Every structure is written in C-alpha cells, then in structure tokens.
C-alpha cells in the first residue's frame, strides 16, 4: 500500500501539518514507488507577513521597556534618582508618562496591531498595500520610540533639577521647554503612522491564489 504525504514548509510558519492518506495513490512523479512530499508556502501580498513584523517589533519594544524598568530599580546613582523624581511630581511626571506610554503604545499597541494583521492576512486571506503599510510601520515605530524617550529624558532632567537639586519651577520649565516641539513632532509622526497602518489594513485586498 502506498501513501501520499503532504507537508507544509516550516518557513514561513503559518501552520504546520502533515497529512497521510492510508490508501493506494498514484504519485505525480516518475518514480511511482516513493512517497511524494509537497511543500506549501503560504505568503501574503508582497511576500511579507505583517503580523510577524509587528510581533517582532513588540518583542524589541518589550526588551527596551524591561531595560527602562531595570534602570528605575537600580540602587546606584544616577539611576537611584529616578524613583524620587517620579514620586516628586511636577517635571518628573513627564518621565512617568513616557514610561507608561511606551508600555501602552509600543508593547501592547504593537501586539494589538499584530493580532489584527494576523486575522486579515491569515484568516481573511487579504493583503494590505505594501507601500502604505511599510510607510505606516516606520512612522509609527519611530514616532512612538522618539516621543516616549524624549518624554523620559525631559522628565528626568527637569525632575532632577526640582527634586534632587531643589531648583525653582522656573528653572525646571526652562529645562523642559526645548523638548516640547520635538515631542510634539514625534507624536504627530506616530499619529500619522497609525492612520496609514489602519488605512492599509482596512483597505486590504484579497490575496491572489
């Protein structure tokens, strides 16, 4: 009794399965006495699985957030100043906002986009426009990373002046003011990236077989 075996290609991994038919079959190759193995590649659109890209970006962002957390917890200077800066309020609030926003947008947000892209690409078999998607991805990633890190740096600088050096509010405001425009620009870039990403996924077209 011959068997015919079909196996999916493990790269890229969309699903893994092995199907064996325990009945006589006619192999589609000249050597009729051997098991036939077919490899099936499942790719979407421009041969880019966007859910995998966003998932890997979420992994990187999680690592950055973990490093940020460890820096807050380190008991050695200058890292030991970060907790009093966060607790002191005022300019230190900027640091706390940047820390929480990075977790919410760069980690949880990218996981959410990856899940949505998985549904669109794998289950619905639709492909987002490559040019729009790559532009949105770059703008979103760069905008979130820049705005959150700038918030953290600004908050740490202004909070250090207020809490550790006991400077006046005016001094702290002067230290924060140069960061306002860059943070606004970075946030605008992140918003534009989000819009492009959502638009690309909303208008995704059926993948050609």
The answer on 25 and 54 residing in a single domain is: no
The answer on 129 and 199 residing in a single domain is: yes
The answer on 87 and 34 residing in a single domain is: no
Assigned domain for 193 exists: yes
Task: Return the higher-pLDDT residue of 61 and 164.
Answer: 61
Residue 148: which pLDDT band, with cuts at 50, 70 and 90?
very high
Closest alpha carbon to 208 in 80, 77, 43: 43
Assigned domain for 111 exists: yes
pLDDT tens sequence across 116-145: 999 999 999 999 999 999 999 999 999 999
Assigned domain for 45 exists: no
pTM above 0.75, yes or no: no
The answer on 62 and 30 residing in a single domain is: no
Residues 19-47 have a mean pLDDT of 43
The answer on 131 and 69 residing in a single domain is: yes
The answer on 91 and 34 residing in a single domain is: no
CA distance 35 to 24: 11
The answer on 86 and 115 residing in a single domain is: yes
The answer on 117 and 55 residing in a single domain is: yes
For residue 92, give its domain range: 50-206
Beta pairing class for 18-21 and 4-8: antiparallel
For the chain, how many structural domains are there in total? Answer: 2
């Amino acid at each position: 009794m011959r068997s015919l075996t079909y196996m999916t290609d493990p790269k890229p991994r969309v699903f893994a399965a092995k199907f064996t038919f325990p009945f006589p079959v006619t192999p589609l190759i000249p050597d009729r006495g051997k098991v036939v193995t077919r490899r099936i590649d499942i790719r979407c659109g421009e041969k880019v699985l966007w859910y995998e890209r966003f998932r890997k970006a979420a992994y990187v962002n999680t690592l950055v957030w973990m490093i940020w957390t460890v820096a807050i917890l380190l008991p050695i200077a200058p890292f030991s100043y970060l907790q009093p800066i966060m607790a002191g309020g005022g300019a230190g609030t900027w640091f706390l906002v940047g820390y929480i926003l990075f977790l919410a947008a760069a980690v949880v947000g990218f996981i959410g986009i990856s899940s949505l892209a998985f549904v669109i690409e794998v289950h619905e078999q639709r492909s987002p426009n490559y040019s729009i998607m790559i532009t949105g991805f770059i703008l979103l990633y760069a905008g979130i990373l820049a705005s959150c890190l700038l918030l953290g740096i600004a908050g740490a600088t202004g909070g250090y002046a207020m809490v550790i050096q006991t400077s006046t509010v005016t001094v702290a405001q002067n230290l924060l003011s140069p960061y306002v425009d860059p943070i606004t620009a970075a946030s605008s870039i992140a918003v534009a990236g989000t819009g492009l990403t959502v638009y690309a996924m909303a208008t995704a077209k059926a993948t050609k077989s």
